[in-house]
Chain A
Amino acid sequence: MTEFFQLLFSGVALGAVYSLIALGFTVIYRASRVINFSQGAFILVSAYVISWLATDKGVPFFLAVALSIVFAVAVGVAFQLLVLRHLVGRSAFVAVMVTIGASIAMTAAVSAIFGPDQKLLGDPWGSSAVHAAGITFTWVKLWSIIVVAAVLYALYLFDRHSRYGLAMRATASDHIAALAAGVPVGRVHAIAWGMAATLGTIAGMFLAGFPNSPNLGLGDASFRAFPAIILGGLESPKGAVVGGVSIGVVEILTSGYSPGWAGTNFSAVAPYIVMIAVLLAKPYGLFGSVPAERI
């Protein structure tokens, strides 16, 4: 039973980070109907920027994180304003291809600048942990759960209680009507990209923590979080969180309990099996809205 709870704790911590990544997808998809395949690149770039500032430049860790968020937001907003804005009215596929291109370019840039070797994150937690009831709670995982909960609450307040949160929900529902009602839709898109970049940075910080480290494969987490958004429903922030935590728990529990005949990487496949099973029953995800059709 101890092993189960140990795995469950790790699963929830990983799932919390998946929730952030999934929310990054959801925020942009709701605002502009674009699935942002560069979300993983933001995670990667941010982890390396934090590492560079905190270990090479001697910047205090949390200041490094803050600066990295500023950098990621600048890149995300610039990407929206300089590139994606000009694709309005084209098929969503064009924008998706552009985000894939941006992802490849950003990953290559990280590889060229920082080299292929693993880095140190420079975080204050390292492998430190508290032990209770036979379970090891690493600080990086505890903090990931706490910080994600705080971020989710802040996003909730923004969504429900701010002028731009309302504008974002309106834009998600009908951007032409929002424009006619005086909502600066371009600014809403830019804010969405800034939020997604912030979420990506925080996710990158925790993903690169113990026992991991900043490495070139870090961005792949966005593909592992992908079943989470499909599971939850692309448009639903609630779905992103429920989907993220579920997928994290499924992945870790499978890695702990998967039988030998299933192969060593079965845990990477299990989330997709869960996703397919859910889609068979609910084709638009757990919290997705079924499109209304005129009959």
Chain B
Amino acid sequence: MARPRPTGPILEARDLTLRFGEVTAFQDVAFAVMPGELFAVIGPNGAGKTSLFNVLSRVYTPTSGQIALDGRDLTALRPRDLAGAGVARTFQNLGLFGPLSVLDNVLVGRHHLMRAGALRAGFGLRSARAEEREHTAAAMAALERTGMADVAGVAVENLAYGDRKRVEIARALAMHPRLLLLDEPVAGMSADERVEITELVRALHADGDLTILLVEHDMGMVMRVAQRILVLDFGRPIAVGSPAEIQADEAVIRAYLGAAPEAATA
């Protein structure tokens, strides 16, 4: 699906600061994510990554500074408007509906795209039936992309953790976002699952015109997939650049990698 690609950044933060009373979560954060880019935010524990993610996903409102989505003020949107504005997210600890089937979980992501009151042809309306087919097909296509189509009828609570993450990513894809926000997608995973999800994120980005912003603790994953990286340390941005530049950056090595950069990139 070819979209005219705007020339400006899809997401731009300027002088972004978040405080909770006297505690500063992060301050003076500035970055721009270009369309089609895979941009990562990394940092040691407590660096402000999760707080920044929560500002981008409209859970928190920044104390000061601007954040623009396609040049428009992101903070003017309510959380539920994000889907319509083309922003989808995943959760660090999964945001799925356990008792619902895999397919239903993904169909929920289509809610904002549905027109008719009836999703399925419960009342025998032809247009409702056509719409149901359209949304089910889109949901199944998203599940194909993450490799979960063959378990579409299974309740999510019966899946392994890594597979649940695949369902969550499929739901985000089914929302047809332009910007995908991933909150520590490999947190809490086994080594095998980390490799698989890293490969999935890389493949999804390679597929097309999806812009991805990734907040992640796992350096190995970020170095493998990201095009540009923002490093936070104690709430302050200390470097922005390509993986190679970040790996060579003195301040980053001091703050994050410590004395063993080769171990962290393994």
Contacts and interface: CB of A to CB of B under 8 A. Distances in A.
Interface of A: 157-158, 160-167, 169-170, 173-174, 176-186, 289
Contacts of A157: 122-123
Contact of A182 (B82, B117, B120): B82
Interface stretch (B40-48, B95-103, B227-235, B255-263): B95-103
Contact of B97 (A158, A162, A164, A177): A177
B119 A166 contact: yes
5 tightest Cβ-Cβ pairs between the two chains A and B: A182-B83, A177-B95, A161-B122, A173-B97, A182-B112
6 contacts: A160-B120, A163-B118, A176-B95, A177-B91, A182-B109, A183-B112
Given A169-B104, A170-B100, A181 B120 contact: no
B114 A181 contact: no
B123 A180 contact: no
B117 to A, nearest CB: 6
A164 B115 CA distance: 11
A279 B107 CA distance: 36
B201 to A, nearest CB: 18
A183 B111 CA distance: 6
A163 B82 contact: no
Contact of B79 (A169, A179, A289): A179
A100 to B, nearest CB: 30
Given A161-B118, A162-B122, A183 B97 contact: no
A164 B108 contact: no
Given A166-B104, A166-B111, A184-B80, 11 more contacts: A162-B122, A163-B119, A165-B119, A173-B98, A180-B83, A181-B108, A181-B109, A181-B111, A182-B83, A183-B108, A186-B80
A242 to B, nearest CB: 18
Interface string B69-94: 00000000001101110001101000
| Chain A at the B interface: SS class | helix
B121 interface: yes
B57 interface: yes
B111 A182 contact: yes
A111 to B, nearest CB: 38
B116 interface: yes
B4 to A, nearest CB: 24
B108 A167 contact: yes
A178 B168 CA distance: 12
A169 B97 contact: yes
Interface centre among A174, A178, A181 (most CB of B within 10 A): A181
Given A169-B100, A174-B95, A179 B80 contact: yes
A186 B88 CA distance: 19
A174 B157 CA distance: 13
B169 to A, nearest CB: 12
A183 B80 contact: yes
B16 interface: no
Contacts of B123: 157
Given A160-B122, A163-B114, A163-B116, A180 B82 contact: yes
Contact of A163 (B95, B111, B171): B111
Contacts of A178: 97, 108
